Structure 1
Amino acid sequence: MTPTSHRDSPPTTPTGRRPDESMTLLTSMMERPLDPGYAAAAERRVAEGLPASTGTRTATVAVAAVVAGLLLTMGAIALRAPSTSAAKAKAQLVAQVESRRKAVDRQEASLRTLQAQVEQLRGQALAQSSTSLQSRLEALDAASGAQALTGKGIVVVLDNAPGADKNSADGNPRTDAGNDEGKVFSKDMQVVVNGLWQAGAEAISVNGQRLTSRSAIRFAGEAILVNYRPLARPYTITVLGDPDNLQVEFADSAGGAYARALKDNYGIRVSIDAASKLTVPAATSLTVRAATVPRPDPSSTATP
């Protein structure tokens, strides 16, 4: 007889032991989910004639949840909504800036009206003077920018490169340093204007601002200032003179080469067009620091 192998014998269970004895912990958790301490406390309350639970747990949790929700909602609203005082201060500053700008425009218009009246009165006075004095005075007016001029010339327009005005992710243009190369700066305007003077320009204005020997082209924040007035792009440069000669001489000057480099290397938009009739206004900020009365020319005195 071949002995029976232990591997082939059926499993036997010791008497008095449960088949799932190794899973006692899981079985107790499934059969009695309540913690023994809580169960004992509930039994004591029932033995004393009280309900198994206080009955306020659900109401307390509900109230606490409502209060927490209100606090979170109020916090979110406070963070998302701008401060009332800051919004009022900003609105007041914007209103002041607009009011001052309108006042400056009104004063500038009044100044131009007064200048026209002065020109008319001066013309009446000069009608009685010599022709040489009138010619000299007209030449000085044209050179100093005290008189508006009309004639043929060219129009040079500078504008930022396409896409150079897009702000960064936070909406702040000052943090968008990647697009600065495509913007027109005051230095660019200075080089181009000096090149136009070198090319033989007789009179120049930028966005209606007449350039004189005392004009300043500066940069403040994100704006170009001419005669301390901010300009809006595109920047239109009106130049009086011979159109053909101006275009040829400007192309051969350092200013023309600089303008081509702005267009080719940085994508800045540059255009030059000839025009048969252009007008540059008179300067509005002419001041005289020192003046003397000229002595009469002895050679012009008539011999009796």
Structure 2
Amino acid sequence: MSLLTNVMDHSLDEGYAEAAARKKAEGGGGMPRTLRAKLGLAAGLVLAALVVTVGAAQARIAAPVVAKERGELIDRIDRQTAAAEKLEDGIDELRDDVGARQREALRKHGGDQGELVGILAGAVEVHGPGVKLVVDDAEEADQGGEGDARETSGFSDTGRVRDRDMQRVVNGLWESGAEAVTINGQRLTALSAIRAAGDAILVDNKPLVPPYTVLAVGDGEKLSSAFRESGDGQYLDALRKNFGIRTSLSVEDEVRLPAAPSVIVRTAQPSAEKGTS
């Protein structure tokens, strides 16, 4: 019973009591945990502020260098833009000079028919009655398809106008009596080529986008009627009915066609016959 009484009277081990007394004698029982956490947070904030301050100082030091490089780049762009514009102006002047010389050559060598030769060659601007033909892709044309039901069975039609379609349209207008033709403002001559580059249609290497507006100078009523009845006109109508190609043909009282940007004038002379011995 004396052992139980001792345990009840002395529940705290003497070792704990001695350790507490020793810490008290040394000046305290250590730093509280909450205080240590606050001091750590304060140190982290100070370190973050130091990093931000150093970064801002470095950015301020580098700012003049970046601004200088940016200014030099802008100056280079401005100089190159001005040089390109000057070259374009020179090209326009040379093109006008070449056109004038070509027209003069046509008048000189064409005699009384010089003006007619210039019109047929596309070297001069023309205006007068004619027709306006607009050809456009189908409303739901597939922009990514490569197949064409008009070319190979087994592929679905894309509903897009092809270069060969425009070739037939132009040839049909010439055959029907057109005196001059343009596609989207591009004058056609005897040397013009209508080709394809991927999905784009090129006229003399210049890409065109739909809708394709074809203007032709001639007797409007006769030209329209002759084209509709021609094989190429019927071909275009078949494209409309079978593949959804959109077309419209109207007679115009006045259409204006620009001159071709460049016409190469070629002359041929018979070579002198060489005697045989």
TM-score by length of 2: 0.57
Instruction: Look up the match of 2:207.
Output: 230
Instruction: Look up the match of 1:247.
Output: 224
Of the three residues 243, 248, 256, the one matched with 1:271 is 248
Three-state SS of the structure 2 residue aligned to 1:181 is: coil
Instruction: Look up the match of 1:113.
Output: 96
Three-state SS of the structure 2 residue aligned to 1:146 is: coil
1:288 positional shift: 3.1
Q: 1:104 to 1:283 in 2, by over 3 A?
A: farther
Three-state SS of the structure 1 residue aligned to 2:124 is: coil
Of the three residues 186, 189, 193, the one matched with 1:216 is 193
| Greater relative contact order (CA < 8 Å, ≥ 6 in sequence) | 2
> What aligned pairs does 1:8-23 form with structure 2 within 5 A after superposition?
none
> What aligned pairs does 1:128-143 form with structure 2 within 5 A after superposition?
135-143=112-120
1:231 positional shift: 0.6
What is the number of equivalent residue pairs in this alignment?
181
Instruction: Look up the match of 2:164.
Output: 187
- Paired AA for residue 200 in structure 2: A
1:52-106, CA deviations, whole angstroms, 9 ceiling, x for partnerless residues? xxxxxxxxxxxxxxxxxxxxxxxxxxxxxxxxxxxxxxxxxxxxxxx9x999976
Please give the alpha-carbon distance, in whole angstroms, between the structure 1 residues aligned to 2:189 and 2:262. Answer: 10
Three-state SS of the structure 1 residue aligned to 2:247 is: strand
Q: 1:202 to 1:268 in 2, by over 3 A?
A: same
Structure 2 unmatched ranges of 5 or more: 1-80, 149-154, 271-277
1:135 positional shift: 3.1
Structure 1 unmatched ranges of 5 or more: 1-98, 167-172, 294-304
Three-state SS of the structure 2 residue aligned to 1:192 is: helix
- Paired AA for residue 113 in structure 1: D
The answer to whether the 8 A contact 1:111-1:284 is kept is no
Please give the alpha-carbon distance, in whole angstroms, between the structure 1 residues aligned to 2:225 and 2:269. Answer: 41
Instruction: Look up the match of 1:261.
Output: 238
> What aligned pairs does 1:84-95 form with structure 2 within 5 A after superposition?
none
> What aligned pairs does 1:163-182 form with structure 2 within 5 A after superposition?
163-166=140-143, 173=144, 180-182=157-159
Q: 1:183 to 1:133 in 2, by over 3 A?
A: closer
> What aligned pairs does 1:150-161 form with structure 2 within 5 A after superposition?
150-161=127-138
Three-state SS of the structure 1 residue aligned to 2:158 is: helix
Please give the alpha-carbon distance, in whole angstroms, between the structure 1 residues aligned to 2:123 and 2:169. Answer: 23
Of the three residues 136, 143, 146, the one matched with 2:123 is 146
TM-score by length of 1: 0.52
Three-state SS of the structure 2 residue aligned to 1:286 is: coil
Please give the alpha-carbon distance, in whole angstroms, between the structure 2 residues aligned to 1:233 and 1:102. Answer: 29
- Paired AA for residue 205 in structure 2: Y
Q: 1:179 to 1:115 in 2, by over 3 A?
A: farther
1:135-179, CA deviations, whole angstroms, 9 ceiling, x for partnerless residues? 32111111111111111100101100001045xxxxxx2578776
Please give the alpha-carbon distance, in whole angstroms, between the structure 1 residues aligned to 2:234 and 2:86. Answer: 41
1:218 positional shift: 0.6
The answer to whether the 8 A contact 1:165-1:179 is kept is no
Three-state SS of the structure 2 residue aligned to 1:114 is: helix
Please give the alpha-carbon distance, in whole angstroms, between the structure 2 residues aligned to 1:217 and 1:182. Answer: 19
The answer to whether the 8 A contact 1:153-1:241 is kept is yes
Three-state SS of the structure 1 residue aligned to 2:195 is: strand
Identity percentage of aligned residues: 39
Please give the alpha-carbon distance, in whole angstroms, between the structure 2 residues aligned to 1:103 and 1:182. Answer: 43
- Paired AA for residue 168 in structure 2: V
1:209 positional shift: 1.2
Q: 1:104 to 1:215 in 2, by over 3 A?
A: farther
Q: 1:281 to 1:112 in 2, by over 3 A?
A: farther
1:243 positional shift: 0.7
- Paired AA for residue 250 in structure 2: D
User: Pairwise CA RMSD of aligned residues?
Assistant: 3.4
